Amino acid sequence: MQDQEVHREYANLFEIDRNLDRLVREIDILNYLNPLNIEQEKKRFFTSKFSEDPIFNYRKLKFSIFNLQRQLFSQRLEDIEDEETRKLYHDTIYEYAGLLQCIASVGQKNKFFYNSLRVFGTPQEKDVKNAKFILHFHKEEDAEDMVPRYNADQAQAFFQAFGESYPFKFKIRQSNSITAAAMALNTTKTLVIKKNRKFSDHDLKILSNHEIGVNMLTTFNGLNQPLHIFSHGFANNNLTQAGLAVFSEYMSDSLTLRRMKHLAYRVLAVDSLIKGYSFSDTFDLLYSQYKLNKDTAWSITLRAHRGGGFTKDYQYLSGLKKVYDYYSAGKNMGLLLTGKVSIEDVDLIQKLQEKGLAEKNKFHTHSFHQNKNTNEKLLFMLSNLK
């Protein structure tokens, strides 16, 4: 009865929210951004002794960008009475329009890069300094749990078992057409695992906390909300969501200095895009200057250069710092798990909950219950990032 009263009182808001839910279901940039021919081009790049830039193929669009943008901008936002809520929908619509421009320009180098800049931004000077600060630390020796020993089928079994500790159901499939070791797809509630990869015990621990304990959990918490915008994503949610996922690694004692350095290399790879580096230039920076092995240098370079220059990867490090500071200030972590939301919107989320327009979390991230980090270097590092 109370839900019906809320729907009647905010009928205009719910109508706009339903419209957006229908319109944005196709807008998952990762569906179009991951190249289809990664392994072939990796082989060609290595055979050329890292001199011939890869030429990637991408999925074709299944919808009209123009028609979808027109429908997004036709929403009567003036009918939303509350100014903060109206701004939330306004900003979110503009971000989705920006994502559509990204999707439309995948594979068109300069065009995609500038569209990516508009949506995700680029590393600032302090982000680059933070990355270099991390790289000054001596890397810890690889422990036994760092040795890759499990194939994709074994990893899938592990993730399936880990997922059973949470009361929500998701699908798992394998693919060679992803750039990450694993990734959670919001739209299909699917965890995708890289098929031809070997996984270490450490990989499994990181990925399960990161992809299932946060990325998948916020998807399901968002789906449990009265407003669909929680599951599709608030404007500027990527920085917070990336930070939450890595913070879960820290809290579960999975985060290592080696992993932090990889996040730092991602920042430098994205920064190289701003400097006009080609694929082979960025690879050379990581492989020759920073002495990464060729597979790791390839993977980080691919993540940054896919589509024509994807700038999002710098957000993992800056997002981690932002979430760490939020947690250290004793603030409510639960508000950040209500869906695909941003730290900047926590006050609005509380107001929506008070009005009956948002629910308290149905699911909770296990790693956030207790700080299990035992690495003093990481604590020092996170406390001193700018």
Backbone angles phi, psi at 173, to 5 degrees: -140, 165
> What's the pLDDT tens digit per position in 104-114?
999 998 999 99
**Range from 6-10, 46-50, 122-126, 213-217 carrying the lowest mean pLDDT:** 6-10
- Spatial distance between the Cα atoms of 379 and 242, rounded to a whole number of angstroms: 19
158: tokens are 């592990």
pLDDT at 1 over 60: no
> What's the pLDDT tens digit per position in 196-207?
899 999 999 999
Mean predicted confidence (pLDDT) in 209-238: 96
pTM of the model: 0.93
- Whether the CB-CB separation of 246 and 299 falls below 8 Å is answered with no
Asked whether the CA dihedral 15, 16, 19, 25 is positive or negative, the reply is negative
pLDDT at 61 over 60: yes
Q: How confident is the model at residue 141 (pLDDT cuts 50, 70, 90)?
A: low
The identity of residue 304, as a single letter, is A
- Whole-number mean pLDDT of the chain? 93
| Among candidate residues 138, 278, 158, the one with its CA nearest the CA of residue 207 | 158
3-state secondary structure string across the chain: CHHHHHHHHCHHHHHHHHHHHHHHHHCCHHHHHCCCCHHHHHHHHHHCCCCCCCCCCCCCCCCCHHHHHHHHHCCCHHHCCCHHHHHHHHHHHHHHHHHHHHHHCCCCHHHHHHHHHHHHCCCCHHHHHHHHHHHCCCCCCCCHHHCCCECHHHHHHHHHHHHCCCCCCCEEEEECCCCCCEEEECCCCEEEEECCCCECHHHHHHHHHHHHHHHHHHHHHHHCCCCCHHHHCCCCCHHHHHHHHHHHHHHCCCCCHHHHHHHHHHHHHHHHHHCCCCHHHHHHHHHHHCCCCHHHHHHHHHHHHHHHCCHHHHHHHHHHHHHHHHHHCCCCHHHHHCCCCCHHHHHHHHHHHHCCCCCCCCCCCHHHHCCCCCCHHHHHHHHHCC
Give the residue carrying structure tokens 């450490």: 202
> What's the pLDDT tens digit per position in 170-191?
999 999 888 889 999 888 899 9
The identity of residue 185, as a single letter, is L
- Spatial distance between the Cα atoms of 84 and 69, rounded to a whole number of angstroms: 23
> What's the pLDDT tens digit per position in 257-271?
999 999 999 999 999
- Whether the CB-CB separation of 230 and 303 falls below 8 Å is answered with no
pLDDT at 341 over 60: yes
212: tokens are 């299932």
Query: What range defines the domain where residue 95 resides?
Result: 2-384
Other CB atoms closer than 10 Å to residue 384's CB: what's the count? 10
Please tell me the total count of domains within the chain: 1
84: tokens are 């903060």
**What pLDDT score does 232 carry?**
93
Other CB atoms closer than 10 Å to residue 147's CB: what's the count? 12
**What pLDDT score does 215 carry?**
96
Bigger pLDDT: 3 vs 378:
378
pLDDT at 383 over 50: yes
pLDDT at 87 over 80: yes
Bigger pLDDT: 58 vs 5:
58
Collect all residues with Cβ–Cβ distance below 8 Å to 216 and sequence separation of at least 6: 163, 166, 168, 170, 184, 189, 191
266: tokens are 């991602």
C-alpha dist (Å) from residue 343 to 91, 256, 329, 365: 15, 25, 13, 17
**What pLDDT score does 73 carry?**
95
Percent of the chain with pLDDT over 70: 98
- Whether the CB-CB separation of 328 and 321 falls below 8 Å is answered with no
| Among candidate residues 340, 349, 343, 316, the one with its CA nearest the CA of residue 329 | 343
> What's the pLDDT tens digit per position in 6-48?
778 889 999 999 999 999 987 877 788 989 999 999 999 999 9
